[in-house]
């Protein structure tokens, strides 16, 4: 590569990349904006190909928990590559790196969760978990128990299985019909309750919706219910405290496995190691990714409870794998991630700084168009609404959230706008400081002024 000017990067991208999330005809004509191509990133700061720097208020896809280009994680990857860049592929085998990581992960997951399988992404993790749930029931003599229930607003990834448990409104178009066996119940979203109720006088009807759906389908056909503990892609929407305990009861009543998708919320994001800990609910399976390596390398884990493992244990082999699942270099980085989290009290920082972030965001509650501000740990969100008194959102065609993100980015801070709800999500790396959080909120306030909403 001789010419590495910004124009060249845009041109090569325009001519050779199949991008996601953009109209392809427009992309093939103009290429991406130069500001969307990152050339370097360190700590909280990303630099584009024109040398413009922005502070990440969203940790990329809420995954760069320990900062960009963390030198200790880089060193762990390098050392492991020199020691063993690949460890072969033997049924039931593994590498010392993947086994050490499984052992160490078991020290931080709930007591009843001690076994892990490793894949590469959150989507693969979800697909794998659904297969495990089906396998579990099948070897227990109930092969008809295969349906997977999720909820509106859920995001579980975009491989086929994960996609059809993800809310379809933004993600299913043009990808063929929904395969049989995936269904969704209404969301838990108190600000825009799908049942038209006002919490707490609602009897958590959204949780009862699960029981209704299982009854309708027949409990002997439902394998699992999968949920994000806190909606992430939908913009940090936190359920009421009673929700997941009630969901657990319903799953137990109908013998349906509860799958906890901690891909975004795991590894300290919400001020606990895993978000289900906020409600003392024990899942049957867990899916983790993103923060597992601080997103410096691709890794995901599917965790099964002791009871699920016992149920799966028969004389026949359980067959589900990927050629580079549990890659030793990714596992070495994941081990180092746990060490750093412990040493630098990352979960505590997320919890404490998260309170400050929420206090600062709550200063915006006076704004005539900002509402439904929530956060747990360094995982917060709010909605820019048209009419606060009646909880009426802006017409999506006005693209207010997108304009807000553009204004904030122009001022030097990137945050996310949810494609499904338009909510603004604030989730800086978990190594952020109080000054970083203050700066992010100060910039967002100015960006809000820039919109000049009447
Ligand atoms: C809760 C949740 N599950 C699954 C996924 C999919 O993960 P990936 O993009 O790594 O496939 C995501 C990604 O944002 C997520 O937030």
Which of the 8 DSSP states describes residue 217? Answer: H
Give me the pLDDT at residue 261, please.
98
- By the 8 A CB rule, do 293 and 122 touch? no
| 301 CB-near residues (< 8 Å, 6+ apart) | 105, 116, 117, 118, 119, 125, 286, 287, 288, 289, 292
Give percent of the chain with pLDDT exceeding 90: 95
Residue 92 vs residue 412, higher pLDDT = 412
pLDDT average, residue stretch 257-268: 98
Residue extent(s) of CATH 3.40.640.10 domains in the chain: 72-343
Architecture of domain 33-62+345-451: Alpha-Beta Complex (3.90)
Of the candidates 42, 73, 18, which has an alpha carbon nearest to the alpha carbon of residue 299? Answer: 73
| 23 CB-near residues (< 8 Å, 6+ apart) | none
Give me the pLDDT at residue 128, please.
98
**What separation in Å is there between the alpha carbon of 261 and the centre of ligand 1?**
9
Which atom of ligand 1 sits closest to the CA of residue 261? 1
Residue extent(s) of CATH 3.90.1150.10 domains in the chain: 33-62+345-451
Which atom of ligand 1 sits closest to the CA of residue 289? 10
51 pLDDT higher than 70: yes
**What separation in Å is there between the alpha carbon of 233 and the centre of ligand 1?**
8
| 178 CB-near residues (< 8 Å, 6+ apart) | 164, 168, 172
Cα torsion angle, 330, 437, 408, 379, sign = positive
**What separation in Å is there between the alpha carbon of 400 and the centre of ligand 1?**
25
Which atom of ligand 1 sits closest to the CA of residue 264? 16
Q: Which of the listed residues 156, 237, 283, 288 should we mutate to test ligand 1's pocket, taking the one with most ligand atoms within 8 A of CB?
A: 156
Ligand 1 pocket, residues with Cβ under 6 angstroms: 61, 121-123, 126, 155-157, 228, 232-233, 261, 263-264, 289
Q: Which long-range contacts (CB under 8 A, 24 or more apart) does 13-22 make?
A: 13/37
- By the 8 A CB rule, do 210 and 250 touch? yes
pLDDT average, residue stretch 45-63: 97
2 pLDDT higher than 70: no
**What separation in Å is there between the alpha carbon of 363 and the centre of ligand 1?**
31
- By the 8 A CB rule, do 312 and 304 touch? yes
Q: 185 burial class (0-12, 13-18, 19+ CB within 10 angstroms)? A: buried
Q: How far apart are CA 389 and CA 371, in angstroms?
A: 10
Banded pLDDT at 64 (limits 50, 70, 90): very high
**What separation in Å is there between the alpha carbon of 401 and the centre of ligand 1?**
21
**What separation in Å is there between the alpha carbon of 264 and the centre of ligand 1?**
7
Q: Which of the listed residues 264, 301, 322, 421 should we mutate to test ligand 1's pocket, taking the one with most ligand atoms within 8 A of CB?
A: 264
Which atom of ligand 1 sits closest to the CA of residue 63? 14
20-33 pLDDT, tens digit per residue, is 988 999 999 999 99
Locate tokens 């590495």: which residue? 4
Query: What is each CA distance from 257 to 28, 158, 237, 365, in whole angstroms?
Result: 45, 22, 23, 39
Q: 72-343 domain in CATH 1.10.287.610?
A: no
Of the candidates 435, 337, 331, which has an alpha carbon nearest to the alpha carbon of residue 66? Answer: 337
**What separation in Å is there between the alpha carbon of 126 and the centre of ligand 1?**
9
168-213 pLDDT, tens digit per residue, is 888 999 999 989 999 999 999 999 999 999 999 999 999 999 999 9
274 pLDDT higher than 80: yes
392 pLDDT higher than 70: yes
Give me the pLDDT at residue 1, please.
60
**What separation in Å is there between the alpha carbon of 275 and the centre of ligand 1?**
15
Banded pLDDT at 152 (limits 50, 70, 90): very high
Give percent of the chain with pLDDT exceeding 70: 100
């Amino acid at each position: 590569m001789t010419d590495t000017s910004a124009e060249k990067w845009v041109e090569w991208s325009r001519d050779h990349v199949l991008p996601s999330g953009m109209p392809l005809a427009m992309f093939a004509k103009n290429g991406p904006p130069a500001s969307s191509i990152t050339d370097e990133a360190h700590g909280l700061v990303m630099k584009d190909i024109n040398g413009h720097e922005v502070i990440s208020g969203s940790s990329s896809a809420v995954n760069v928990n320990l900062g960009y280009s963390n030198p200790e994680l880089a060193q762990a990857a390098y050392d492991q590559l020199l020691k063993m860049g690949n460890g072969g592929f033997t049924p039931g085998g593994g590498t010392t790196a993947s086994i050490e990581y499984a052992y160490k992960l078991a020290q931080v997951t709930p007591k009843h969760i001690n076994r892990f399988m490793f894949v590469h992404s959150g989507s693969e993790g979800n697909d794998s978990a659904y297969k495990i749930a089906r396998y579990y029931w099948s070897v227990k003599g109930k092969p008809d128990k295969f349906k997977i229930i999720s909820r509106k607003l859920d995001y579980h990834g975009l491989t086929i299985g994960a996609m059809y448990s993800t809310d379809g409104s933004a993600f299913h178009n043009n990808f063929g019909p929904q395969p049989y066996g995936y269904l969704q119940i209404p969301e838990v979203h108190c600000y825009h309750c799908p049942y038209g109720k006002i919490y707490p006088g609602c009897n958590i009807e959204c949780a009862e919706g699960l029981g209704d759906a299982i009854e309708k389908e027949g409990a002997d056909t439902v394998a699992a219910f999968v949920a994000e503990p806190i909606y992430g892609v939908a913009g940090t929407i936190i359920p009421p405290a009673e929700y997941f305990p009630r969901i657990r009861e319903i799953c137990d009543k109908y013998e349906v496995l509860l799958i906890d998708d901690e891909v975004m919320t795991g590894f300290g994001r919400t001020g606990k190691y895993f978000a289900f800990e906020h409600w003392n609910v024990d899942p049957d399976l867990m899916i983790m990714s993103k923060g597992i390596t601080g997103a410096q390398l691709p890794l995901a884990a599917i965790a099964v409870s002791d009871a699920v493992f016992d149920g799966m244990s028969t004389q026949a082999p359980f067959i589900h794998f990927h050629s580079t699942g549990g890659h030793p270099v990714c596992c070495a980085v994941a081990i180092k991630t746990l060490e750093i989290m412990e040493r630098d009290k990352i979960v505590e920082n997320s919890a404490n700084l998260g309170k400050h972030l929420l206090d600062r965001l709550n200063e915006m509650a006076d704004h005539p168009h900002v509402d439904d501000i929530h956060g747990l740990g360094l995982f917060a969100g709010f909605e820019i609404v048209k009419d606060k008194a009646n909880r009426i959102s802006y017409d999506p065609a006005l693209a207010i959230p997108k304009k807000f993100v553009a204004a904030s980015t122009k001022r030097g801070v990137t945050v996310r706008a949810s494609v499904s709800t338009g909510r603004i999500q604030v989730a800086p790396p978990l190594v952020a400081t109080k000054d970083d959080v203050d700066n992010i909120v100060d910039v967002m306030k100015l960006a809000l002024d820039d919109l000049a909403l009447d």
